[in-house]
């Protein structure tokens, strides 16, 4: 049974401070925007995400719709001088079902 039902995140922009340097896998600053865990019949709509390490995670959830999301990331420099852009923009993982991502 899902813990949260019939809820939404809508019509907002989440902006993180530009961090500049990439600190390595699982060593990022934790600029993570939205995580839906153990939810049902929920949605994310018309959301902007700027400078995030991770945008939206949907985990152990069902009947979730994510639409109208724009993810804009900042370049981060790594030790060899190369640039990276964020990590995961949109992710559905771990026992989720019926998760829809659309424009």
Total-model pTM:
0.81
The kind and range of the H/E element at 88 are strand 88-93
User: What's the rounded Cα separation, in Å, for the pair 17 and 29?
Assistant: 10
User: What's the rounded Cα separation, in Å, for the pair 86 and 97?
Assistant: 25
Q: State CA 16 to chain mean position distance.
A: 12
Pinpoint the alpha helices (H) of the chain. none
Contact between 12 and 56 under an 8 Å Cβ cutoff? The reply is: no
pLDDT in tens, the chain (103 residues): 678 999 999 999 999 887 666 666 666 667 889 999 999 999 999 999 998 888 999 999 999 999 999 998 766 666 666 666 666 788 888 787 899 999 8
């Amino acid at each position: 049974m899902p813990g949260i039902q019939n809820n939404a995140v809508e019509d907002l922009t989440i902006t993180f401070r530009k961090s500049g340097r990439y600190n390595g896998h699982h060593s990022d600053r934790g600029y993570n925007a939205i995580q839906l865990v153990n939810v049902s019949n929920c949605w994310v709509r018309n959301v902007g995400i700027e400078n995030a390490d991770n945008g939206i995670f949907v985990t152990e959830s069902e009947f979730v719709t994510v639409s109208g999301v724009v993810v804009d990331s900042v370049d981060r420099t790594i030790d060899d001088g190369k640039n990276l852009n964020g990590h995961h923009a949109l992710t559905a993982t771990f026992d989720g079902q019926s998760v829809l991502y659309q424009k």
